[in-house]
Structure 1
């Protein structure tokens, strides 16, 4: 044998026992990390804990046992090294379910014990004795609704009002990002606009719901239609497809000589939005919607073209925190006389009074009283821009 003689049963026993050890260690590390940092443990860190425990055993108990238990034998023989390497590999695999179980167990325990928040006085004490930042949220009636977004349910504000959340100690910007992520993932909030003071106190909090459905994403002159179709196997949401009729198979099957099978006919070109079995949702021009029949089956053919830039931009914009806002420049505003390049957000257009829109203005474009600035940025950036425009 290449690896020499191996005592199979003890080797299998060691393999199983140390795999269980890696499973338990990674699970315990996941529970502890989740409790301390209030975040899932990174995959690599959980694997490191589990594999390190197994490696510690192999390098001490296992290796020492071979040296002392059987004097005169080579502790680094090929068979022993092969078994150890296989054990480390299986232990690494065992850390994956261990991490998942530990993370799920901690989440269930926290939910059952009501440990998703801590008392405010306890949070303040933790700031001094642990490397934690306790962020206390405003009362429910002080949580604002974000403009341009649907409001969150009142129950969500009630649940969040006055809570104190724990995070790893970090700078203000990182702490804000962690707070936004926590509110989105744990409480189902779509959009968060938060402002933190230097000591981590939340001075402003506004929430919004993420809009659902495709109605608000339809362009002018388009509509969404659901039809029965054979979707192209390589097509996905956002792809441009041709919609073709299918041959009249009924006449052929019945052998009706009086009705010849119809040939395929292209109906329209559409954008694929969603598929559910044989039901396909398409976005088409309003003029082409009447050509699609609910009683007919269609075939979709994917066009070998790249996605349109406007569709790709709209898709990306829907999935990020940035939004489009309009800021009015009143008379006497500090922004009067400044240029577009002086603003912190991306300006896509400026309207002067009730005149025409200046799309994609240059950075040297001077702002004047009565201008309407169309800017893209995070809600807190747009809010700061509006406060700056209206300050005296």
Structure 2
């Protein structure tokens, strides 16, 4: 049967066949994308793969077949072009169910082969017949936020709440590491603090996206101060600067002094170096500086200062702070109050790496030896995973 110059039955067969081709190509692309990136493929990308496969066929086999197979045929025949456009439209529509099928097939295969996540009842059944460990996460309202870290979005907590994840059977420590890795890779969580019971139930779970603020990067005995200053144009975060008073501020200070002699007035009117600090941030004329605690009182919020940038040199503390932002460990300060069980113990008795101990008198003992005895009033600067630091804080407060 002919429709104009188009044979209707072959055209319908080609339309159906190419729609199936677009369905299979988009489904395969969705399956591969889900396996590699661990997230659903964008709708536009799945449609692009399916329609591109059909367009490739129409531009090669279909168009060349009409020109070569039918001598004298017009490749720009209106009826043929209309059928091709209709085929592309139907192929585009067929990519939507192909995308859904490929994404669902990847999820089903992952659950059957090793298992990414299942509901609680299926997880308990699989633990009895397979060498799998099911980890049950607490409800969304029981998932806490980590201190000194930005909170994760509420949608992530809702997605994780009450979910059961399956892992190969292993020791409790290895199982915890697998859980932390899974949450980071699959759900975009930056930091995880988790405790697991013997049966695989998560008894404590806290999540964080990234370190917030500059507090975690401040060293012992330092603090951040915001002042009004005129920073140099080439000064940037991390640069070492000298803080100088301006002549105007110095002159006003000298005029207010009742017992100032002319010579003292002249000396006070000249710029004076207040301290040396580290530049962390600038917002207009407001500058955030990191200074020693003893020098913080010398900076006045009512005065305007001028900053002089010192030559740039490699600093171990900046490299150390940048490394902390890329690993699981973080820096924590654990105070030892009166009556703490940690009083009288040594640095070697702690489960984390101690980089400094600050005594109650303010003295800093950097990189103390393992025989260093801890006393009430000390503050321990330790490096470790969030769960290790939290355990250390609980030990310090248990008395």
Q: TM-score under structure 1 normalisation?
A: 0.51
Cα pair 2:236 2:280 within 8 Å, conserved: yes
Q: CA deviation at 1:317?
A: 1.2
Deviations 1:64-98 (A, max 9, x none): 99999999999999999999999999999999999
Q: CA deviation at 1:297?
A: 29
Q: Which moved more, 1:285-294 or 1:302-311?
A: 285-294
Q: CA deviation at 1:356?
A: 2.3
Cα pair 1:189 1:207 within 8 Å, conserved: yes
Distance 1:102 1:268, change over 3 A: farther
Cα pair 2:138 2:205 within 8 Å, conserved: yes
TM-align CA RMSD: 11.6
Distance 1:117 1:107, change over 3 A: closer
Cα pair 2:229 2:285 within 8 Å, conserved: yes
Distance 1:205 1:9, change over 3 A: same
Q: CA deviation at 1:278?
A: 25
How far apart, CA to CA, are the structure 1 residues paired with 2:360 and 2:348? 20
How far apart, CA to CA, are the structure 2 residues paired with 1:335 and 1:125? 44
Distance 1:6 1:388, change over 3 A: farther
Cα pair 1:38 1:166 within 8 Å, conserved: no
Name the structure 2 match of 1:289. 296
Q: CA deviation at 1:102?
A: 9.0
How far apart, CA to CA, are the structure 1 residues paired with 2:64 and 2:371? 75
Q: CA deviation at 1:357?
A: 2.2
Distance 1:295 1:158, change over 3 A: same
Q: Which moved more, 1:43-52 or 1:158-167?
A: 43-52
How far apart, CA to CA, are the structure 1 residues paired with 2:101 and 2:309? 42
Cα pair 1:134 1:164 within 8 Å, conserved: yes
Q: CA deviation at 1:391?
A: 1.8
Cα pair 2:146 2:208 within 8 Å, conserved: yes
Deviations 1:139-195 (A, max 9, x none): 112111111112222222222111111222222112111111111122111110011
How far apart, CA to CA, are the structure 1 residues paired with 2:78 and 2:127? 53
SS state at 2:268 partner: coil
Q: CA deviation at 1:380?
A: 0.6
Q: CA deviation at 1:106?
A: 2.3
Alignment of 1:101-140 (within 5 A): 106=106, 117-140=117-140
Cα pair 2:245 2:274 within 8 Å, conserved: yes
SS state at 1:261 partner: helix
Distance 1:69 1:111, change over 3 A: same
Distance 1:297 1:150, change over 3 A: closer
Distance 1:71 1:319, change over 3 A: same
Distance 1:171 1:292, change over 3 A: same
Q: Which moved more, 1:181-190 or 1:104-113?
A: 104-113
Deviations 1:125-147 (A, max 9, x none): 11111222211100112111111
Cα pair 1:3 1:82 within 8 Å, conserved: no
How far apart, CA to CA, are the structure 2 residues paired with 1:25 and 1:5? 31
Deviations 1:289-330 (A, max 9, x none): 999999999999999999543332222111001111111212
Distance 1:388 1:243, change over 3 A: closer
How far apart, CA to CA, are the structure 2 residues paired with 1:5 and 1:338? 95
Distance 1:115 1:176, change over 3 A: closer
Name the structure 1 match of 2:333. 326
Distance 1:141 1:303, change over 3 A: same
How far apart, CA to CA, are the structure 1 residues paired with 2:12 and 2:244? 60
Cα pair 1:238 1:307 within 8 Å, conserved: no
Cα pair 2:244 2:271 within 8 Å, conserved: yes
Name the structure 1 match of 2:307. 300
How far apart, CA to CA, are the structure 2 residues paired with 1:259 and 1:89? 86
Cα pair 1:274 1:281 within 8 Å, conserved: yes
Cα pair 1:251 1:261 within 8 Å, conserved: no
Distance 1:6 1:159, change over 3 A: closer
